[in-house]
Structure 1
Amino acid sequence: MNRETAPSALPPEDLQTLLGVPGHAEAQVDLLLPDSNGVLRGKRVAAQSLEKVYAGGVCLPMSLVAADITGNTVEETGLGYDIGDEDRICRPVPGSLRPVPWSPRPAFQLLLRMEDGQGGWFEAHPRRVLERVLDRYRALGIVPVLAVELEFYLFDRLADADGRPQATINASSGRRNASTQVYSIDDLDENAAFIDAVAQACRAQHIPADTAVAEYAPGQFEINLKHRDDALAACDDAILLKRAIKAIAQQQGALASFMAKPLAGQAGSGLHLHVSLLDAQGRNLFSGHEAGPADALRHAVGGLQASARDNLLLFAPHANSYRRFVANAFVPLNDSWGFNNRTVAMRIPHSDAANTRIEHRIAGADANPYLVAAAVLAGMLHGIEQRLDPGPPVTGNAYEQFEVRTPYWRDAIEDFLGSSFAADWYGAQFRHIYGQQKYKEMRDFDALVTDLDYAWYLRTV
């Protein structure tokens, strides 16, 4: 494919990306539709089919958006047999065509969004849920600025004798990594081949990765993305970063997991969202300092507190998510806030006044970035509009000053399904579909007979 025969339906940015890769005429393209769990589903097509994809879209089952974590259709959502498992047109997100540098042959990936069959976008698709919240910000002339931090584990591709994940083997010593050296440069050096490959993929895909750090457990790392004044693009980056990390780990004989709590007794993995708000003139509405925080910041925190229960299912969507909420593990167990304090739920990081922001610390790394961003932004604007008071900021250990709240999956599902806040901000259709999806997952999870059942009860009762 050359410039004369290149598909004219491609936006200029995507056309430039396509033509910039040698062998693009013979390339394959992964068409990616993020579902409610953040799993990327879709089709693989030849690059020569891209003109047709851009011009007319591609058909995918509507039920894909609410497939459960095992990939099965959730009939309770109403998107399966009730409507004949209908297809919907999915169209490319302009500017999202990216090369896939870890592929052994020329390859690209392209994000999709789903139509509703009536000329609009499907309101229950997670990317559209975030866009719905952003519409309210646009109406007020306020621009959210987002940065995503993602924690994950790098495991050996082979499980241990009990079928559980285990740390990778240290190339220097030949032994499995077992120490917890937070922010260790040696750990970064030991995993330099993996980290360098991820960094290279990020550059090739224009994902604005910033820093990598070793976290609080053997094989746990965090990669931070730079802030963006385009919330949708910031979440696109997070989704694509997760794909790159998983693919490169697999290529190097390892397993990257964003499971919220993969190991008992070790740190869980979080998705921390840094947010500031700009007015029409580009000024930070949160600009201030600890002795005199801006009213907008205080009210935004108040809104996050008031909506935390309604939104918990978006922050902690899976059964395993709730194993992360344990004391003294830098995981919020209340709705406290404070300055430069990692024991609170809503942290105001140390910065100069112009860069004041809220770091939201509740969500796990297993959560869908689009839905986390939608929930955080909805809560913040709700607080600003209602001028909610968050109370005084916490100084010192928040775990010792607030009652510990132990969240449960069933409660979060029921709270979400009954939430007028969720219906107002995300739409009644999404509330129903997402809530029923999670109810189905919970019922299936609870129906399993686990090894612990046998260990505790088989010979005892």
Structure 2
Amino acid sequence: MNWIDNIPPAARSYLEANRLDEVECVIADLPGIARGKAVPATKWDKQSHFHLPNSIFFQTITGDWGEAAGPDGFLEPDMILRPDLSTATAAPWATDGTLQVIHDAFDQKGAPVSFAPRNVLRRVIDLYTAAGWKPVVAPEMEFYLVARNIDPAKPIAPMMGRTGRPAAGRQAYSMSAVDDYGPVIDDIYEFAEIQGFEIDGIAQEGGAGQLEINLRHGNPLKLADEVFFFKRLIREAALRHDCFATFMAKPIEGEPGSAMHIHHSVLDAKGRNIFTGPQAGETDAFFHFIGGLQEHLPAVVAMIAPYVNSYRRYVRDHAAPINLEWGRDNRTTGIRIPISDPAARRVENRLAGMDCNPYLAIAASLACGYLGMKNELRPDKRWHGDAYEAEDAIPRDLFSALELFDAATDLQQVLGPDFARVYSIVKHAEYDEFLQVISPWEREHLLLNV
């Protein structure tokens, strides 16, 4: 049981109060779904790793497969998955004492699997480290609590609140709206506390049953792990109260979409924010980071808006910027500079959807900023006023986004060429799957009219 000395304090506290029955060995696939194995505690004590086939990274969101295995063919060789004990956390919804532990993927020669999402993010962080920089991020998570929906043919509806009425939209920041589904939020808080996660705040967003959770800033890998864990935590809390939590970018017609805004800053070796100069002014690095986002974000939209539904969120004047302008304290711009003290100066990317894989979205956003700083890219002039009046600057469908991603050789070198190859193949396979489905809109308007 020596491994217990190397797990976080919250996990140790959980084990002091609960007899360990099972350990869930998990890893995020390309969509961000937790894959892995549940291992009895007695076996966990004896194992240093476990195996899964590398094909889990070739799987589409529907469970089909992209032909991404490479020249050797679809042999499904085993990867070696090793635990990162710093990620150990409770599964407080489980009946018996259960820990979750995120694992890292290596091939049989010991090299990191290049298309494993956590390895992609680590690769980008390593590039920052090599340049003498330390990236810091803070994600914001938006999601909906909705009524149980077991028939995909039926539209998604808001959840029923404690008042006996469906959750109402257009009530941003309403405390009464938050209270209406307070029991779910109480369980979210409780689960987060048991798991050792710090929530910076919960607020009602503009959609019916839409909430936002803000997380404290920190190491990008740690924050991506937390978002990965939080998605499961929130779903489990919702199920306790006969509703679903959904992270779809646009689950309800006519309501705002759900974003995962990403705040970035960068520190030097002494822990100083390189976006702020000695006299508290904005530095070249600050402007270069913005320039990198403006130059390269279109090519990674396929990573931060990864599904056909993602593009339904990008609606003019509907709380989702479709531009690459930057502005100060301006939520209509795709790139926002929030109000802050000079030491906390940061850049917010408002384009990412909550349906993203957090490892890949954070990696993509940091990669754009990295190229901006390395290549000293200058941003356009600051935007004044309503940026919805600006020109559209991002692809508006998945196929167009993938075309830009496939052509972005500079970004592919940062993210990893083999990852880019696999990601493109899998996402094209998903798009082809979508094209085989006939939608209600087509049946309604085309069946008898064309």
| Same fold (TM > 0.5) | yes
Q: Name the counterpart of 2:338.
A: 349
Do residues 152 (structure 1) and 108 (structure 2) align? no
Superposed displacement of residue 158, structure 1: 3.9
Aligned mate of 1:304, from 281, 293, 299: 293
1:46 corresponds to which letter in structure 2?
P
CA contact (8 A) 2:311 2:397 kept: yes
- 1:89 aligned counterpart, secondary structure: strand
2:347 corresponds to which letter in structure 1?
I
Q: Name the counterpart of 1:69.
A: 61
Do residues 44 (structure 1) and 38 (structure 2) align? yes
Distance, in Å, in 2 between the alignment partners of 1:20 and 1:263 is 38
Superposed displacement of residue 183, structure 1: 0.4
Q: Name the counterpart of 1:295.
A: 284
Distance, in Å, in 2 between the alignment partners of 1:456 and 1:20 is 56
Q: TM-score scaled to structure 1, two decimals? A: 0.92
Q: Name the counterpart of 2:96.
A: 105
- 1:181 aligned counterpart, secondary structure: coil
Specify whether residues 96 and 403 from structure 1 end up closer, same or farther in structure 2 by C-alpha distance, changes over 3 A only. Answer: closer
CA contact (8 A) 1:159 1:166 kept: no
What does the per-residue CA deviation read over 1:90-149, in whole Å, with 9 as the maximum and x for residues that have no partner? 111121111111122221111111112221210110110011111111112211111110
Distance, in Å, in 2 between the alignment partners of 1:63 and 1:80 is 14
- 2:100 aligned counterpart, secondary structure: strand
Distance, in Å, in 2 between the alignment partners of 1:295 and 1:414 is 31
Q: Name the counterpart of 2:369.
A: 380
Q: Name the counterpart of 2:265.
A: 276
Distance, in Å, in 1 between the alignment partners of 2:10 and 2:173 is 39
Specify whether residues 130 and 179 from structure 1 end up closer, same or farther in structure 2 by C-alpha distance, changes over 3 A only. Answer: closer
Distance, in Å, in 2 between the alignment partners of 1:161 and 1:444 is 16
Superposed displacement of residue 350, structure 1: 0.7
Do residues 460 (structure 1) and 427 (structure 2) align? no
- 1:95 aligned counterpart, secondary structure: helix
Specify whether residues 328 and 20 from structure 1 end up closer, same or farther in structure 2 by C-alpha distance, changes over 3 A only. Answer: closer
Matches within 5 A, 1:189-338: 189-228=179-218, 230-287=219-276, 293-338=282-327
Q: TM-score scaled to structure 2, two decimals? A: 0.95
2:188 corresponds to which letter in structure 1?
V
- 1:434 aligned counterpart, secondary structure: helix
Specify whether residues 244 and 422 from structure 1 end up closer, same or farther in structure 2 by C-alpha distance, changes over 3 A only. Answer: same
Identity %: 34
Superposition CA RMSD, Å: 2.2
Q: Name the counterpart of 1:3.
A: none
Specify whether residues 49 and 141 from structure 1 end up closer, same or farther in structure 2 by C-alpha distance, changes over 3 A only. Answer: same
Q: Name the counterpart of 1:182.
A: 172
Specify whether residues 409 and 226 from structure 1 end up closer, same or farther in structure 2 by C-alpha distance, changes over 3 A only. Answer: same
Q: Name the counterpart of 2:76.
A: 85
Do residues 366 (structure 1) and 366 (structure 2) align? no
Specify whether residues 126 and 284 from structure 1 end up closer, same or farther in structure 2 by C-alpha distance, changes over 3 A only. Answer: same
Distance, in Å, in 2 between the alignment partners of 1:188 and 1:23 is 31
Distance, in Å, in 2 between the alignment partners of 1:231 and 1:280 is 16
CA contact (8 A) 1:142 1:280 kept: yes
Do residues 128 (structure 1) and 119 (structure 2) align? yes
Aligned mate of 2:6, from 3, 9, 12: 12
Superposed displacement of residue 263, structure 1: 1.4
CA contact (8 A) 1:333 1:399 kept: yes
CA contact (8 A) 1:181 1:217 kept: yes
Superposed displacement of residue 426, structure 1: 1.2
Specify whether residues 80 and 265 from structure 1 end up closer, same or farther in structure 2 by C-alpha distance, changes over 3 A only. Answer: farther
What does the per-residue CA deviation read over 1:323-368, in whole Å, with 9 as the maximum and x for residues that have no partner? 1111001212111001100001110001111111001111100011
Distance, in Å, in 2 between the alignment partners of 1:208 and 1:238 is 12
Distance, in Å, in 1 between the alignment partners of 2:115 and 2:149 is 37
Unaligned runs of 5+ in 1: 1-5
- Name whichever of 10-19 and 420-429 sits farther off: 10-19
Specify whether residues 83 and 245 from structure 1 end up closer, same or farther in structure 2 by C-alpha distance, changes over 3 A only. Answer: same
Distance, in Å, in 1 between the alignment partners of 2:38 and 2:3 is 19
Q: Name the counterpart of 1:94.
A: 85
Q: Name the counterpart of 2:401.
A: 412
Distance, in Å, in 2 between the alignment partners of 1:247 and 1:85 is 32
- 2:155 aligned counterpart, secondary structure: coil
Unaligned runs of 5+ in 2: none
How many residue pairs get aligned? The number is 449
Distance, in Å, in 2 between the alignment partners of 1:94 and 1:392 is 46
Distance, in Å, in 2 between the alignment partners of 1:264 and 1:175 is 19
- 1:460 aligned counterpart, secondary structure: coil
Superposed displacement of residue 452, structure 1: 2.1
Superposed displacement of residue 160, structure 1: 8.4
Do residues 116 (structure 1) and 104 (structure 2) align? no
Distance, in Å, in 2 between the alignment partners of 1:152 and 1:274 is 18
- Name whichever of 331-340 and 401-410 sits farther off: 401-410
